[in-house]
Amino acid sequence: MTDTPLAIAADALSRGFGDRWALAGVNLRVRAGSSLLLAGHNGAGKTTLLRILAGLLRPTSGTLSVGGIDLRKDLRGARRKVALIAHQGQHYLDLGAAENLRVAARLLGQDEARVLSTLDRVGLADRAADPVRTFSAGMKKRLAFARILLQEPQVVLLDEPWGQLDPAGFRFVDDLLAEMTEAGRAVVVATHLVERAGRLRARPPAGRWTPHVGRARRRAARGHGGGMSPSLFTQTRVVLQKDLLLSWRGRARVVAMLSFAVVTLMLFSFAVGPNVEILARHAGGYLWLALLLSSVLALGQSFALELEDAALEGLALLPVDPRALFFGKAIANTLQLFFLGVVLVPLSLVLYSTEVEGSWPGLLGLLFAGTAGLAAPGTLYSAMTSRAKGKDVMLPLLLFPLVVPVLLAATKGTNLALMGDPMNQIASWATILVCFDLVYWSLCPVLFGRVLDD
């Protein structure tokens, strides 16, 4: 046993929340192929310890290594070794079961052909296309185990794995945990069902899982997940496709944002009154103010979907490169705001009795550059404020001052495009707009990773 490598090594781990300590001086060693049972009353710190072991929560003090990797030196490298089943399922509720697993498979570099067979193994093949929002708690738990089967980690952390399951689900979890330890994975279980967990080490894995164990061992020899690590471009594309699909599934939210923008344009028209000349002269400003105010709804919603059912934690444990997550979400937000702008331009021409005397391609180019300038810092700040109590107030307070240069350049350029650019000034404003875009899209991805880790 002493020759078996350590999967988890923790020394003097402590975690405090204000003046209360959830953990104090925890030391533990878990070797590959072994299991550890965490027992204790509610509030004893079991979940806190599992989240620290998964790299989702920083210890106040102490040292920790997972799979031989020090979490202080390589947090994401350690996360590649770990899978966690928590109280929340870490699913996108508006996506189907198969769609959730396909996102995970693509980000892991796994063969997508395994998705349906994996769903069959957990008993969800007949519900593969159904939105996870319609699933019972037990079905969500089974789907979480399906993601672990795709991930094939070295360390498996389970918080009440038998909770919310029926008797057939109990047997399913027993078989799966026995298989995992047999395959050389370290398993840490936090549960109140101490008697059931205590029987796991003496229980052989069920025969039906044996072929998969063999494949798991061969994949483990090749490295994590058995597939090539996806490139930054591939991960960005997966996140972008996922966000666009979620936007399409949540069309009611898009309609609400569009309605808000239309009402805002109409309020500007009512406030100015029947003075056609003033309306036409400042049409670009009214358009961009409507886009700016509507962007708060779009940006806030983009991260609300990540926090629902702790889906963001699931991405962090795959793990996704933070830059890919930023670029995917920022591009999706840009496209959403650009689409909104394309819809609002004709409406603005009608409401403010004006027309485009310049070129339509130039106007659309300004619209795209401007929305990109709003989306990049907006994505960063929506991540920063997503867990804050006053997030609905904090996001605009942080975002609006930062995007003043973008808003100014976009407004000036749009007004000139509407008037036909009589003094050839539009190129200067477009250059300023593009320069700020480059600054935002260069700095925000770097800061985004720090925001997620904190």
- pLDDT over 70, % of the chain: 92
Residue 232 has pLDDT above 50, yes or no: yes
pLDDT tens, position by position, 31-68: 999 989 888 888 889 999 999 999 999 999 999 999 99
User: What mean pLDDT do residues 141-148 have?
Assistant: 94
Instruction: Indicate the pTM of the whole model.
Output: 0.89
pLDDT in tens, 152-164: 899 999 999 988 8
* Residue 111: per-residue pLDDT: 87
Q: What is the mean pLDDT of residues 180-205?
A: 75
- pLDDT of amino acid 221: 37
- Segment 10-14 mean pLDDT: 94
Mean pLDDT along residues 286-312: 92
**How much is the pLDDT for 440?**
97
Asked whether residue 242 carries a pLDDT value surpassing 70, the answer given is yes
Mean pLDDT of the chain: 88
Could you report the per-residue pLDDT of 398-440, keeping only the tens digit for each? Answer: 999 999 999 999 999 999 999 888 888 899 999 999 999 999 9
From its phi and psi, is residue 441 left (phi > 0), alpha (psi between -120 and 50) or beta?
Answer: alpha
Between CA 91 and CA 100 the distance in angstroms is 7
When pLDDT is cut at 50, 70 and 90, the band that residue 295 belongs to is very high
Report the pLDDT value the prediction gives residue 225, as an integer from 0 to 100: 43
Q: Is the pLDDT confidence value at 214 over 70?
A: no
Give percent above pLDDT 90 in the chain: 63
pLDDT band of 2, cuts 50, 70, 90: low
- Are residues 376 and 441 in contact, defined by beta-carbon separation less than 8 angstroms? yes
Q: Please state the rounded mean pLDDT for residues 312-324.
A: 90
pLDDT surpasses 60 at 175 = yes
Say which range, 197-201, 203-207, 304-308, 341-345, has the weakest mean pLDDT. Answer: 203-207
pLDDT at 198: 64
20-31 β-sheet, strand order: 20-31, 6-17, 61-66, 69-70
Over residues 330-340, the pLDDT tens digits come to 999 999 999 99
- Integer Cα distance of 374 and 89 in angstroms: 32
Q: Residue 148 pLDDT > 50, yes or no?
A: yes
pLDDT-derived band at 218, boundaries 50, 70, 90:
very low
Judged against a pLDDT cut of 80, whether residue 128 lies above it is answered with yes
Q: Which of 298-312, 342-356, 362-376 has the highest mean pLDDT?
A: 362-376
Nearest by Cα to 141 from 114, 168, 115? 168
Q: What does the pLDDT read at residue 445?
A: 96
The DSSP result for 39-81, as a single string, is: ---TTSSHHHHHHHHTTSS--SEEEEEETTEETTT-HHHHHTT
DSSP 71-136: TTT-HHHHHTTEEEE-SS----TTSBHHHHHHHHHHHHT--TTHHHHHHHHTT-GGGTTSBGGGS-
Domain ranges of the chain: 6-226, 232-453
Q: Is the pLDDT of residue 206 over 50?
A: no
**DSSP conformation class of 420:** T
Q: What is the pLDDT of residue 216?
A: 38
What are 72-107's pLDDT values in tens digits?
Answer: 899 888 998 999 999 899 999 999 999 999 999 999
Is the distance from CB of 284 to CB of 352 less than 8 angstroms? Answer: no
Q: Pairing state of beta strands 35-38 and 186-190?
A: parallel
Place of tokens 């040292």: 63
Mean pLDDT of 168-180: 88
pLDDT of res. 201: 55
| pLDDT score for 392 | 84
Identify the pLDDT of residue 224: 45
d(CA 295, CA 178): 49
Average pLDDT on 382-407 reads 92
Question: Residue 299's pLDDT is what?
Answer: 92
Class of domain 6-226: alpha beta
**What's the pLDDT at 417?**
92
